[in-house]
Chains A and B, each alone.
Chain A
Amino acid sequence: MWAYFIKRLGLSIAIIAVAMSILFVITHMIPGDPVSIALGPRATVEMKEEYRARMGIDLPVYVQYGRFVSSVLRGDLGQDVFSGLSVLDIVRRQLPHTVILVGVAIGWSATLGIILGCLSAVRRNSTLDRVIGVITVGAIAIPSFVVSLYALLLFAVTLKVLPALGAGESGDIVDQLKHLVLPGFALGLGWVGYISRLVRASMLEIMGENFIRAARAYGLPERTIVARYALKIAIVPTVTLLGVGIGNMLSGALFAEIVFSRPGIGKLIYDMVLMRNYPVVQGAVLVTTALFVVSALIADMINSALDPRVRGSL
């Protein structure tokens, strides 16, 4: 199992490296002066000079690339020319909000999705199955930012049962939880649909397998068979889906943060984009991407723990 982990880790690092390089390259692919492009029309001459010196714009490209790579490796994602703060600090302060939101969304949607999927599979073609089927199709069909908007419209504005904006009073857990309800719901709704359908399909496939029939022949209780024998395998595609889907969820979180005016990486990037503040955008995107790659890695490792057959393949 460790050999597999090392291989996957190496691959993940390589991917992050290439992603970094892509971000670096695009600044130089746009025609025009890279400094003006990166800093936008609001930058003053002094700011540009400082940026030019820091990034060594006048030096050959590969030297710039080398500087870039070495600074990222040291943890230095650059400085925000407008505020002077380190990009890493800015990003670090916003990251926890997004992580909490995404965590909550995955938590409830995966739990509910797995339960609904199992129920549908075990009671195949029953009324319950069909009802769940219809609900999940509906849930998938609405894009997540539209769900955010409609949730805002329905619960916050029309019914006024939940707060519309912000993350709640810091220190007041209950208030913060209340503020998490709508964004968490909006972000997770589509996923309940996907996961439920995927679990249903996987379970149906597995329950038809020979070893399930053999397990029944040994007299094992149905509950044991479903939980320990079937579900463990059925979960694997769902874990993969979540691992790969985190990228999607991060994009969705961006919209949720904007619609509900919550602090977080998404809101940060958006505000910086409007200011044409590329260094911060670059740093935030880099951190988010690394986060995504790491979650995919974690998902793979979870799978290899669940299904020992995975460990051999890469």
Chain B
Amino acid sequence: MESVLAVKNLSIDFLTPTGSVHALRDVNLSIAQKRIVGIVGESGSGKSTVVSAVMRLLANNASVHSGEIEFEGRNILAMKEQELRALRGEEIAMVFQDPMTAQTPVRSIGQQMMDIQYRRSLSRKEKRENAIEMLNRVGIPDSMDRFDQYPHQFSGGMRQRISIAMALMMNPKLLIADEPTTALDVTLEAQIIHLFRELRKSFDGSIIVVSHNLGLIAELCDEVVVMYAGEVVERALVDDIFYRAAHPYTQALLNCDPARLGELTQELPTIPGDVPDLQEVPTGCIFASRCDQITDICTSVRPPTVTVNSAQDVRCHLAANA
């Protein structure tokens, strides 16, 4: 089954005045049709960089060192601006982290939603109806009246729903949600999770959810990709990740979850050490300096990616030598 999105050996550097930051190194992942895949990792793990690369919305100082990103077989990295624009919004759409800055303040949300439909030759009335229907689907009350209101007249939770509506309006094949609930409080987060679940019934595209929130990933995703400091360290189905995590980082991450406090220890557990400086990438395993199951080979040889069971990959010597 051809995957909707396939990231192959992607390496990206950021050029800074003090040197190159190797933000992504040899990243592989694939998204199949109608699947929800979560990318989880802490700040600096590269998860946002990966999805920005898919949309080709990286910062100016980013440079793709090697690798490919294939969307339905076509290499996104080789596309010209024209082709990309045809892709964005239509086939791949993105929901951003901060709802308060995601819509332009000087046009009503109705106008913005109609702007997105510019490629279709529809009448104004039809565009308006499409937009209102979409607003209804994401749960905006009084959508016909509020159609002409401006973004600042909506609350954060509403604006995130509007972002989702705008992303789904053209019925894309792939939806990327970059930290969709990070800027929202827990109640709003629960509402958005509920919304995603509802939408899933009617939306037949694939979804990528990027987050550092394990709980969100557990609620929504079918598969999980765990990233650390620019590398993919583990990929598995959601149950496998939570119950049978193979990589020491994933295990440590699960242990750090404050929701499980009291169950395991009385103190808030952390992972000792710091994320390494990506201008000087250390030899060996990227997690070696903080790993509690470290072996001799870990600091000298970069671990290969090993398949542990039918749908689970790990980049770790422990798994390789098992």
Contacts and interface: CB of A to CB of B under 8 A. Distances in A.
A217 B89 contact: yes
A216 to B, nearest CB: 6
B152 A224 contact: no
Contacts of B98: 210
Contact of A220 (B93, B118, B150, B152): B118
A165 B31 CA distance: 76
Contacts, number: 71
Nearest to A308: B150
B107 A218 contact: no
A210 B105 contact: no
A233 B163 CA distance: 21
B116 A211 contact: no
A232 interface: yes
Interface string A205-230: 00001111111111111001000110
Contact of A219 (B90, B96, B101, B102): B90
Contacts of B102: 210-211, 214
Given A214-B163, A216-B57, A232-B106, A221 B85 contact: yes
Contacts of B94: 214, 217
Interface in A226-284: 228-229, 232-233
Contact of A217 (B86, B93, B101, B115): B93
Contact of A210 (B90, B96, B118, B167): B96
Most chain A beta-carbon contacts within 10 A, residue among B87, B98, B115, B152: B115
B96 to A, nearest CB: 6
Interface residues of B, number: 28
B116 A220 contact: yes
Interface string B140-158: 0000000000101000000
A211 B103 contact: yes
Contacts of A229: 104, 106-107
A229 B105 CA distance: 8
A307 interface: yes
A74 interface: no
B98 to A, nearest CB: 6
B96 A214 contact: yes
Contacts of B166: 218
A95 interface: no
B88 A218 contact: yes
A216 B90 CA distance: 12
A307 B89 contact: no
A306 interface: yes
B55 interface: yes
Interface residues of A, number: 22
Interface string B252-281: 000000000000000000000000000000
Given A210-B98, A214-B96, A220 B89 contact: yes
Nearest to B115: A220
Most chain A beta-carbon contacts within 10 A, residue among B98, B104, B115: B104
A213 B101 CA distance: 10
A206 to B, nearest CB: 9
Interface string A291-308: 000000000000000111
A48 B187 CA distance: 80
B104 A219 contact: no
A221 B88 CA distance: 10
B104 A215 contact: yes
A272 B49 CA distance: 70
Interface in A80-121: none
A228 B101 CA distance: 17
Contacts of B55: 217
A7 interface: no
Contacts of A216: 57, 88
A188 B115 CA distance: 36
A217 B119 CA distance: 14
Interface in B69-97: 85-90, 93-94, 96
18 contacts: A210-B98, A211-B101, A211-B104, A212-B104, A214-B96, A214-B103, A216-B88, A217-B57, A217-B88, A217-B94, A219-B116, A220-B118, A221-B85, A229-B104, A229-B106, A233-B104, A233-B105, A309-B105
